[in-house]
Amino acid sequence: MALALQGLTAHYLATSTVPLGATSRALVHAAAGGVGQLLTQIARQRGAEVFATVSTEEKAAVAFQAGAHHVILYTQTDFATEVERLAGSRALDVVYDSVGKDTFEKGLALLRPRGTMVLFGQSSGPVAPVDPQVLSRGGSLFLTRPTLADYLRGPGEFRQRFNDLVTWWTQGNLKVNVARKFPLTEAGVAQSFLESRGALGKIVLIADKSL
């Protein structure tokens, strides 16, 4: 079950919001997080060139392990400058941004004409309102703010996405890293751990005492 929410999210982002392929260049922020690791793996599986951001060296190793081609420590290096150095100016097809406030504007400026900004979270805080002219000036850009429920419309869609995930997982093509397990009674401790940015993957809450 550790695969469900984050896996389904990574699945719809990489296969439906922007279906990645062999010529895609994608930036995945927070690539060592729960969704980030899964999204990086699926993007790589689909042949995309993956640029990843993370906050620490330890997380950089995790992002490389997940399949990222380029990993940038955005706490030490300006990620936009580094992506431009690696890929050129306005070279990305898609930016998958779950960080929000701290990364959104710079990410938009990295997109190629008609590229897509996928803002799917706001771990650093909400993004300020966007003037649509910014999308025009950036090269007819697309901006979407997707949520999982809209990509699970009916049991058929859920089944298809979940079947893919389980198939990839059983074939060894998708790894789920459980960072830590907490009993449900320690949900507050789990929340603090999540906010600490220390988790390298999924945090699992368990309702019984079998830990």
Binding pattern for the stretch 117-156 against ligand NAP, x by CB under 6 A and - elsewhere: ---xxxxx---------------------xxx--------
Q: Which stretch binds ligand NAP (CB under 6 A): 16-24, 27-35, 134-142, 180-188?
A: 27-35
The H or E element spanning position 6 is: helix 4-12
**Integer Cα distance of 65 and 69 in angstroms:** 10
3-state helix, strand, coil in the chain (%, to 5): 40, 20, 40
Binding pattern for the stretch 176-205 against ligand NAP, x by CB under 6 A and - elsewhere: ------------------xx-x-x------
Structure tokens at 210: 């079998």
Residue 185, CA atoms < 13 Å, CB-side half-sphere: 4
Phi/psi at 113 (5° precision): -55, 135
Q: Which stretch binds ligand NAP (CB under 6 A): 33-41, 132-140, 166-174, 183-191?
A: 33-41
Binding interface with ligand NAP (CB under 6 A): 5-6, 9, 30, 32-36, 54-55, 59, 98-99, 120-124, 146-148, 194-195, 197, 199
